Structure 1
Amino acid sequence: MILLSSLDYTLPLQNPVIIFSLVLFIILFAPILFNKIKVPHIIGLIIAGLIVGPYGLNLLKRDSSIVLFGTVGLLYIMFLAGLEIDLAEFKKNKKRILVFGLLTFIFPLVVGTLTSYYILGYGFLSSLLLASMFSTHTLVSYPIASKYGVIRNQAVSMTVGGTMITDILALLILAGIAGMTKQDVSSAFWIQLGMSTLVFVSVVFAIFPIVIRWFFKHFDDSISQYIFVLAMVFLASFMAEAAGVEAIIGAFFSGLVLNKFVPHSSPLMNRIDFVGNALFIPFFLISVGMLVDVTVLVKGWGALKVAGIILVVALSTKYLAAWLTQKIFKLTKAEGTMIFGLSASHAAATLAIILVGYNIIIGETASGEPIRLLNEDVLNGTILLILVSCGVSSFVVEGASKKLALDEEDSNPVDDQVNEKILVSLAYPNMVTHLVDFGIMLKSKKSHTSIYGLNVIDDERDVSQQTSNSKKVIEKAISHAVSSENSIIPITRYDSSISNGIVYTIKEHGIGDIVIGMHKQADQDTFLGAKAGNIIKRVHETIYIYKPTQPLNTFKRVVIAMPPKAETEPGFLHWLKKLMMIAKEAGIPVKFYGTTSTNDAVVKVIERNPVAIKVSFNEFGNWDDFLIFSRELKPDDLFVIVSSRKGHDSYVPQMGRLPYYLSNYFVEQSLLILYPKQLESGINMGNIEQTDSYLIETISEQIGALGKAGKYVKGLFKK
């Protein structure tokens, strides 16, 4: 009791432990309570901030700590918007983004300026600054779209891109008006702003990728990677401010740069999402709620009139811009609604513009009172706009997200890939994370099955030591998969032959894709290894033999060498879709090398199943010239070689020299040797060779087993 009496309970609360505890309980319970009454959790957090803030119960004051976390949350939202956006779709829709950005900026600016000037009676500069506030929007409801998995829809991409256009233009108007009130705007001011912005953009898009790729290549610790990502985000935000533009622009640009280095199904992406949605973004929403002063409703008709006009102009012009965009580009009604919902909310840039305008003093009254560029009525009306617009945005985006998610399901019916089964052979401890990452990238986003992780124990050797090592390998694979919200079905198998264990597991579970790591002692005589060689001969499903020299997310390009007649194999369509899916997920271009007919077949498949990534083709048919790839390839390329089993259409004799070439001329290259699904048809020398090899191996294994049994029986008779 003595300790309790020593605490300070005066309002607003001062004790940092109590403050942080209260905020955490708000973050925990506000979404739960408001979801019960079908209110989006974002609105719940904003209203909770209003209740506990200085204009509510005054439990918390909006001090520097709240401002700090709120700022971090806002930058985090913009960073996630850049990180989660589909870059290929973003580039493909750049004209649409520009059109929407200009529409959603110009309509509010023109209508807002005329309304403020003629109806509210403000001066031209005040009217222009107030109207620029209408033009901006903050992606407060972006987490809702993310929750429903529709962030890659073109409507979301267009709105995110439009946000950058509106904010940049509005902030330029703010900088110009602020300078004009101080009478120091000149051509030198605009030249300096343009040069500093150019330097900032050049550093972020030219130097940042080099630093990021180097770091991810050399440091794979999860904590270090997350801290590094945050550091790059806030460094870019600071550089943006130093250049004279808003910090949110830097956060968004850093997300765009990091986009290709952080796969959407990776453990790092999971940590970024988790920390942002659990802490930083809720803090921002609570801080927005603490700004809302509902008492403006009882402060006279002046404040109500301004607030009403601000609300009508801001929401109606944003709706008009979204509606026109929908009609111009023939979007669906749900997409048009999504554009309006995301662009309707006003918070960050709006608040920045109004506070700057409120703090600019352009004169004083006869009694000495300051005359502000934007008065208190505008400030209070804007705070009310923040609350109402965020509410409207949340409800609209929630409804549009549900509709788009359902439409996407209807337009993409369940296909054969949802029941796909992928097996990752976990033979080498140092390659576990690389192989699991590759297996996860192979998995279709609609797949309902887990990845199988197999470790085979040779029961002719020291079983106890192998069992201990197997347990560690399996646990490492499971832990790595779980960190990216994926799962692995662990399989530990005891067999007299490791290749037998893998083959029988594949057949028992109906596996369609097999991922095997290339063994470390690969040389020209035993390049694939005896185990992999036996598996290739006995299994006719798609096999990927992977040798990574760097993380999957650091590749700049995928180079695919295809043999003649690769398109005639049964598994052609399957492996092509898988590789294109990986390239799209990683956001990297693909370069195909094949004969004219094979390249044409690839083009037709891509036309039927368009993917928004850069694809190029080169003529290559003479595998005697395979060493040309040693000149073409770069260190950050993933070299994919589509091979073939003997006796099949796409097999060429020169493939027998691949072990020599790869072990001597491509030692430092990341390799993926792919054996497509092929059917056993007819009897030819290739099939006979495979059968003979299989029979010899099987007979040897049986003789060994009989020898063991004989010794065991002989021992019993002796006893």
Structure 2
Amino acid sequence: MSALIHGLPDSPIVGFTALLLAILTVPPLVERLRLPGLVGLLAAGIMLGGNGLGLISSDDAGMALLSDIGKIYLMFVAGLEIDLAEFRKTQNRSLGFGAATFFIPLIFGTIMGRSFNFGWNGSILIGSLLASHTLLGFPIVRRLGVVRTEAVTVTVGATIVTDTAALLVLAICVAIHGGSFTGSFLVKQLILLGAYAVAVLWGLDWAGREYFKRTGDEEGNQFLFVLFGVFLAAIVAQMINVDKIVGAFLAGLAINDALGKGPVQEKVEFLGSTLFIPFFFIDMGLLIDIPRFIDSLVQNPLLTIALSASLISSKFLASLVCKVAFRYNWAETITMWSLSLPQVAATLAATLVGVQVGLLGEEIFNGVIVMMLVTSILGPLLTERFAAQLTPPLPTSLPEPDTLWFQADALVPSLTAGVPVPDFCTLFPEDDRPHPFTVLVPLANPSTEQGLIELAALVAQQESGTIVPLKITKAHVNMADPQLDQDLLRGRRILRRAVDLCQGFGVTVDPVLRIDDDVAAGITHAAREHQADLIVMGWSRFSLRSRLLGTVTEAVFWAAHCPVAVTRLVDNPQQIQRILVPVKDLLPRTLRTVRFAQWLGETNGGTVVLLHICVAWTPPEQITAFETSLNQWVEQQSGTLNPGRSGGETLEPNPGATVQVTTLTGESITGEEVASIILNQAQQFDLVVLRSVRRRTAGGFAVSTVTNQVMDNFGGSIVLFGEPHG
């Protein structure tokens, strides 16, 4: 091995290639052991550094730059991912829990530091390291469908308080350590910091809104603007004697509202999470000297134990205070505790700053690494166990039938907020509706054309609607180009076949031939112009170009104003009898997916099975409440409830059509287990309807891991039902 390493060229490219290989391979291997991926990145840093292969050194200028960028990006994403809308809903309780889970650990940490003979400045900084938290368990509560419970929203909102306050303490402690600190200096520093925070939070927010408004869909320039804003905020922070990670976090909060959820945010977060942030964690591994790390743990075991014990006990005490103050039950209390336990982002970044300026010693750095490992494992385990016992808020009354399609999400609160939400078929009452229910069908592949048209016709038939077959012809620079004439001729032929296919279904057809520079933009613009209520389109085939630039399907999915049903049909839609729909929560977007499946089931006189998967220890009353609410919603569409098979209940909305609710449980509902359960059940069905849940991907459709696994391994027909990107 050493001979191979010595034979490598003496070039920075070698180290960079090793970094990419480590990021690509190590985290997935560590996650198979049920450990966080960042643990693998730390291990990769150790292996690549002086204690291992010696390919990279933390002192290298290139590595220092990449680590700094990663640290800035880490804090920026931490601010960007905070849901300000949820914070505003429970801001008083979020501020209360934020204050408790900041000041109690701050006091515990300060006392611990003093007991180990640290100075007041260093002790307070140690306390601030315990005060922040990283929401490692948030993907778990999102998967369990309890994000909107008060305990979770309060904890998420408290993150703003703890991270901001911890970074403020860091800035003051570093300034004091720098010397020449006086009362007037403190006042001046606080004034500068306040003015800076206002300038970033409001100024960058305003600038972002104005820039995004003027650039429209120019995602490349918007992406560059975001990066420029983040690093400019970091530079200005350093100019006023504040660490750059404070500026990056504030920039994340500022751009949060202006950027919104969309493809630009996806690209920003994707670049950071797959490239720059892992560089920072690998650099943390490079800083760990294994012999000295072991020596410090052996020589100062009490310090390491005291750090972790102080954090765990103080965070629990803060949650207990809120249990008494807000009258939470134990499941809510322990969920809040478990979500606020992990110490990763702000803690590691602040610790590294403290070590670099000489305020903290190597023994604290090593103790924080151990604390991070302990809490990043313990926190998600507790969240998985106790968040499943939370009861998602259910509607207090049933929605009125036939009054809602997708647009009403912006007009009324969600179903799980306990507020009545109208059902689903139309936006307006029938006598006020300005246009018939419209299904847009983009056509490109002759082999899938018939299936798409038939599926759209079955849906439109239920609403006496209109089908708009759409053929996009790519524009040429010269509109008199003979090639364009040939393309238009082929397009007309495709549309004529589509019209012929629609005639047997008794629906109105309005074919559209459009010339456009961009196929995805042409589809979304046509959908808006024709007031489409639904887009039905085929699966995009992946190619090298699609991996680099994205697929048409993905672009439509992000930009469309209405739901998109992406289909992969194996059988004729008219032969589909048994339809499986996994159901996780009772949000309007879930119920719209259910209603879409009902349309198909009612048309073919088939069976729709709504599959609810939960952990084995979910309280029976919670399962019963979920099933009852879902059954009542389905019943209100039409028909009456009757006893069903498999412990569920069935509904007969019209003769021959059946809807059944089935609940299955598993010991630990990980993404792989959920996908496995769905796949096992799907073998008995003709069609699986999945609701899209967005996640960052390197290319292709932005969907959840569960959805990806089902799509990759199920050989039957699939519809991926995507919501408009609000």
Residue 86 (structure 1) shift:
3.2
1:455 aligns with 2:470: yes
Q: Map of 1:153-552 to 2, 5 A cutoff?
A: 155=151, 157-180=153-176, 184-219=180-215, 220-264=217-261, 266-295=262-291, 296-299=293-296, 301-331=298-328, 336-347=333-344, 349-351=346-348, 353-354=350-351, 374-396=360-382, 423-424=439-440, 454-455=469-470, 468=487, 504-505=508-509
Deviations 1:210-229 (A, max 9, x none): 43233223333332222222
Alignment RMSD (CA, Å): 5.3
Change (3 A) 1:212 1:392: same
Change (3 A) 1:226 1:42: same
Q: Distance in 1 between matches of 2:99 and 2:495?
A: 56
Change (3 A) 1:207 1:36: closer
Change (3 A) 1:207 1:331: same
Residue 137 (structure 1) shift:
3.3
Q: Distance in 1 between matches of 2:491 and 2:236?
A: 44
Structure 2 residue identity aligned to 1:109: L
The secondary structure found in structure 1 opposite 2:439 is: strand
CA contact (8 A) 1:155 1:338 kept: yes
Q: Distance in 1 between matches of 2:495 and 2:385?
A: 43
CA contact (8 A) 1:423 1:452 kept: yes
Change (3 A) 1:321 1:505: farther
Q: Which consecutive residues of structure 1, in runs of 5 or more, have no partner in the other structure?
A: 362-372, 428-450, 474-489, 508-514, 521-527, 544-551, 556-576, 582-608, 610-719
Q: Distance in 2 between matches of 1:453 and 1:21?
A: 50
CA contact (8 A) 1:237 1:249 kept: yes
The secondary structure found in structure 2 opposite 1:290 is: helix
1:16 aligns with 2:6: no
Q: Distance in 2 between matches of 1:400 and 1:6?
A: 50
CA contact (8 A) 2:82 2:157 kept: no
CA contact (8 A) 1:455 1:493 kept: no
CA contact (8 A) 2:35 2:377 kept: no
Residue 52 (structure 1) shift:
3.2
Change (3 A) 1:375 1:271: closer
Structure 1 residue identity aligned to 2:373: L
Change (3 A) 1:113 1:425: same
Q: Distance in 2 between matches of 1:505 and 1:37?
A: 55
Structure 1 residue identity aligned to 2:124: L
Q: Distance in 1 between matches of 2:56 and 2:10?
A: 8
Q: Distance in 1 between matches of 2:143 and 2:534?
A: 34
Q: Distance in 1 between matches of 2:484 and 2:505?
A: 18
- Identify the match of residue 69 of structure 1 among 66, 69, 74: 66
CA contact (8 A) 1:226 1:268 kept: yes
Aligned residues: 466
Q: Distance in 1 between matches of 2:251 and 2:505?
A: 47
Structure 1 residue identity aligned to 2:470: N
Q: Distance in 2 between matches of 1:375 and 1:134?
A: 16
Q: Distance in 2 between matches of 1:472 and 1:71?
A: 53
The secondary structure found in structure 1 opposite 2:184 is: helix
Q: Distance in 1 between matches of 2:128 and 2:505?
A: 68
Q: Distance in 1 between matches of 2:373 and 2:278?
A: 15
Deviations 1:451-501 (A, max 9, x none): 99741799xxx999688359999xxxxxxxxxxxxxxxx9886559x9999
Structure 2 residue identity aligned to 1:70: S
Structure 2 residue identity aligned to 1:455: L
1:92 aligns with 2:89: yes
Q: Distance in 1 between matches of 2:311 and 2:71?
A: 21
Deviations 1:241-284 (A, max 9, x none): 434444334333333333344343x3323323432332223333
- Identify the match of residue 31 of structure 2 among 35, 45, 53: 35
Change (3 A) 1:280 1:208: same
Residue 155 (structure 1) shift:
4.8
Q: Distance in 1 between matches of 2:389 and 2:276?
A: 28
Change (3 A) 1:229 1:452: farther
Change (3 A) 1:59 1:422: farther
Change (3 A) 1:276 1:95: same
CA contact (8 A) 1:456 1:495 kept: no
CA contact (8 A) 2:331 2:389 kept: yes
Residue 304 (structure 1) shift:
1.6
CA contact (8 A) 2:469 2:510 kept: no
Q: Distance in 2 between matches of 1:298 and 1:74?
A: 28
CA contact (8 A) 1:455 1:492 kept: no
Change (3 A) 1:337 1:240: farther
CA contact (8 A) 2:78 2:345 kept: no
Residue 285 (structure 1) shift:
3.1
Deviations 1:423-462 (A, max 9, x none): 34889xxxxxxxxxxxxxxxxxxxxxxx99741799xxx9
Residue 360 (structure 1) shift:
6.6
Change (3 A) 1:137 1:218: same
Q: Distance in 2 between matches of 1:471 and 1:208?
A: 49
| 1:132 alignment counterpart | 128
| 2:98 alignment counterpart | 101
Q: Distance in 2 between matches of 1:180 and 1:230?
A: 31
Q: Distance in 2 between matches of 1:184 and 1:36?
A: 51
CA contact (8 A) 2:235 2:244 kept: yes
Instruction: Indicate the structure (1 or 2) with the bigger Cα radius of gyration.
Output: 1
CA contact (8 A) 1:493 1:501 kept: no
The secondary structure found in structure 2 opposite 1:196 is: helix
**Percent identity at matched positions?**
29
Residue 112 (structure 1) shift:
2.4
Change (3 A) 1:419 1:398: farther
CA contact (8 A) 1:470 1:492 kept: no
Q: Distance in 2 between matches of 1:128 and 1:86?
A: 29
The secondary structure found in structure 2 opposite 1:184 is: coil
Residue 354 (structure 1) shift:
4.6
CA contact (8 A) 1:455 1:470 kept: no
| 1:570 alignment counterpart | none
Structure 1 residue identity aligned to 2:259: V
1:26 aligns with 2:42: no
CA contact (8 A) 1:108 1:135 kept: yes
Q: TM-score, normalised by structure 2?
A: 0.52
Deviations 1:390-413 (A, max 9, x none): 343454456667777x95899969
Q: Distance in 2 between matches of 1:456 and 1:170?
A: 56
The secondary structure found in structure 2 opposite 1:98 is: helix
Change (3 A) 1:207 1:20: same
Residue 312 (structure 1) shift:
1.2
Q: Distance in 1 between matches of 2:265 and 2:504?
A: 37
Q: Which consecutive residues of structure 2, in runs of 5 or more, have no partner in the other structure?
A: 396-414, 428-436, 444-465, 474-479, 512-522, 536-557, 562-587, 593-628, 630-726
Residue 177 (structure 1) shift:
4.3
| 1:476 alignment counterpart | none
The secondary structure found in structure 2 opposite 1:277 is: helix
Residue 184 (structure 1) shift:
2.3
The secondary structure found in structure 2 opposite 1:127 is: helix
The secondary structure found in structure 1 opposite 2:180 is: coil
